C-alpha cells in the first residue's frame, strides 16, 4: 500500500456554502480550525445558523471566496452573481436578507471559525477511497458529489476505504496522528445530519439515502473501527482535536500522514 498522503485541503469560507478547494497550504488557527474554514456564518434574527439543515434554499445558493482580493460572491440558482468586499457587511447582509426573505447577519471569526463540532473543532479527515466506496452505494452519485455532500477538510490518498476509521478509539482514548509537522488527535466518527441526504445543488432529497447509507455502513464497517461510537451507523469522516503545539503549524498538500498511537481523550 502507498504512504498515506494529504491529497486535498478543502475549506468552506462561509459555513454551509460552497468549498474553496484550491489551497496548496493552510495554517491551523488558535481555536483549531483551518485558515478560511467557516470564517463566516449566516445567522437569523434569533441567532440561529442559516444552514442546509433548516433551510433548503441554502443548497441553491452558490458562493465563491477570493482571499487575496477579500471578496465574497454569491449567485442564486436562477439569478446573476453579486460580488462584495468582505468588509462591506451591510451590503452583504442586505443581499442575503433579500435572498432568504428574512434578516440575516453575517458573522466573522478568524480565530477558529464556526465549526460543527465545538469540542473536537479541528479539521475533519476522510480518504479518497472512502468517498469512492460510499458513492458506489448510490446510483448517479460520484466521489466528487459525495465529497460535496460530506464536506471534509482533509482528503487522504494512498490508503484503503475507511482508513480514517483508524483515527479514533473510544470515549476515553483519542488517536494521535501527524500530518507533515502538525499533530492532531482523532476524536470520533462524525455524526451526520440531514445535509448529505440531499442533492448539494438543488436541496432535493435523495430517496432512501439515509437507509441505504446506514445499512451499507454497518455491512462494511472495517475490523479496525471501534464500535463504541456506533449507537447508529449514520456516521462517517473523523473529527479531530488540535493540541496547543499544533496551533500555527502549516499543512501542505503532499504531506505524509502517520498514526502515532493512542492518547488520553482530552478533558
**pLDDT tens digit sequence for 255-265:** 999 999 999 99
Of 218, 245, 216, nearest to 231 (Cα)? Answer: 218
Q: Verify that 193 and 101 share a domain, yes or no.
A: no
8 Å CB contact between 183 and 176: yes
Helix residue ranges, H only, the chain: 89-100, 128-135, 143-150, 209-220
DSSP helix/strand/coil, 146? helix
Q: 181 vs 31, 110, 250, 255, CA distance in Å?
A: 18, 22, 7, 9
pLDDT computed for residue 58 by the predictor? 94
Higher-confidence residue of 52 and 9: namely: 9
Decide which of 108, 124, 155 is a domain's last residue: 108
119 and 70 fall within a common domain: no
Question: Tell me, what's the pLDDT at 190?
Answer: 97
Total number of domains constituting the chain: 2
Q: Are residues 93 and 146 in the same domain?
A: no
73, 108, 143 — which closes off a domain? 108
pLDDT at 1 exceeding the cut of 90: no
pLDDT of 175 > 80? The answer is yes
Q: Give me the DSSP letters along 48-106.
A: -B--TTT-GGGGGEEEEEETTTTEEEEEETTS--EEEETT-HHHHHHHHHHHHTS--EE
* Residues 15 and 106 sit within 8 Å (Cβ to Cβ): no
Query: Measured between alpha carbons, how far is 210 from 196 in angstroms, rounded to an integer?
Result: 9
**Domain housing 158:** 5-34+115-264
Higher-confidence residue of 223 and 1: namely 223
| pLDDT score of 41 | 96
86 and 128 assigned to the same domain = no
How much is the average pLDDT of 213-233?
A: 97
Name the burial class of residue 24, with classes exposed (0-12), middle (13-18) and buried (19+) by CB atoms within 10 angstroms of its CB: exposed
- Residues 101 and 195 both lie in one domain: no
Say yes or no to pLDDT of 201 above 60.
yes
Which three-class secondary structure state does DSSP give residue 218?
helix
Question: Do 139 and 187 have their domain in common?
Answer: yes
Same domain, 171 and 68: no
Contact of 232 with 186, CB cutoff 8 Å: no
Q: Does the pLDDT at position 237 exceed 80? A: yes
Please say which residue of 81, 108, 135 terminates a domain. 108
Task: Clarify whether residues 45 and 121 are in a common domain.
Answer: no
Please state the rounded mean pLDDT for residues 78-94: 95
Characterize the bridge pairing of strands 71-76 and 82-85: antiparallel
| The pLDDT value given to residue 78 | 86
pLDDT at 21 exceeding the cut of 80: no
Burial class (CB in 10 A: 0-12, 13-18, 19+), 255: buried
Average pLDDT of 33-45?
Answer: 95
- Whether this prediction's pTM lies above 0.75 is answered by yes
Coil vs helix vs strand at 157: strand
Q: Which of 139, 134, 152, 126 has its CA nearest to residue 206?
A: 139
Statement to judge: residues 15 and 145 lie in one domain: yes
Amino acid at each position: 500500500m502507498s504512504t498515506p498522503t494529504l491529497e486535498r485541503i478543502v475549506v468552506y469560507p462561509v459555513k454551509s456554502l460552497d468549498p474553496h478547494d484550491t489551497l496548496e497550504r493552510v495554517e491551523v488557527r488558535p481555536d483549531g480550525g483551518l485558515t478560511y474554514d467557516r470564517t463566516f456564518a449566516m445567522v437569523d434574527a434569533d441567532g440561529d445558523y442559516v444552514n442546509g439543515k433548516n433551510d433548503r434554499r441554502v443548497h441553491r445558493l452558490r458562493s465563491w471566496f477570493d482571499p487575496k482580493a477579500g471578496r465574497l460572491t454569491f449567485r442564486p440558482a436562477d439569478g446573476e452573481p453579486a460580488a462584495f468586499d468582505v468588509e462591506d457587511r451591510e451590503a452583504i447582509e442586505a443581499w442575503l436578507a433579500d435572498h432568504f426573505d428574512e434578516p440575516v447577519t453575517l458573522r466573522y471569526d478568524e480565530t477558529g471559525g464556526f465549526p460543527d463540532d465545538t469540542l473536537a473543532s479541528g479539521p475533519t479527515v476522510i480518504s479518497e477511497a472512502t468517498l469512492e466506496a460510499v458513492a458506489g452505494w448510490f446510483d448517479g452519485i460520484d466521489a466528487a458529489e459525495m465529497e460535496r455532500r460530506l464536506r471534509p477538510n482533509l482528503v487522504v490518498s494512498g490508503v484503503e476505504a475507511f482508513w480514517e476509521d483508524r483515527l479514533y478509539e473510544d470515549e476515553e482514548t483519542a488517536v494521535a496522528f501527524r500530518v507533515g509537522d502538525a499533530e492532531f488527535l482523532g476524536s470520533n466518527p462524525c455524526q451526520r445530519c440531514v445535509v448529505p441526504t440531499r442533492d448539494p445543488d438543488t436541496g432535493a432529497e435523495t430517496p432512501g439515502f439515509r437507509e441505504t447509507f446506514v445499512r451499507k455502513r454497518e455491512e462494511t464497517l472495517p475490523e479496525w473501527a471501534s464500535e463504541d461510537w456506533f449507537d447508529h451507523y449514520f456516521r462517517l469522516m473523523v473529527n479531530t482535536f488540535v493540541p496547543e503545539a499544533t496551533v500555527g503549524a502549516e499543512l501542505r498538500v503532499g504531506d505524509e500522514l502517520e498514526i502515532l498511537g493512542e492518547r488520553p481523550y482530552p478533558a
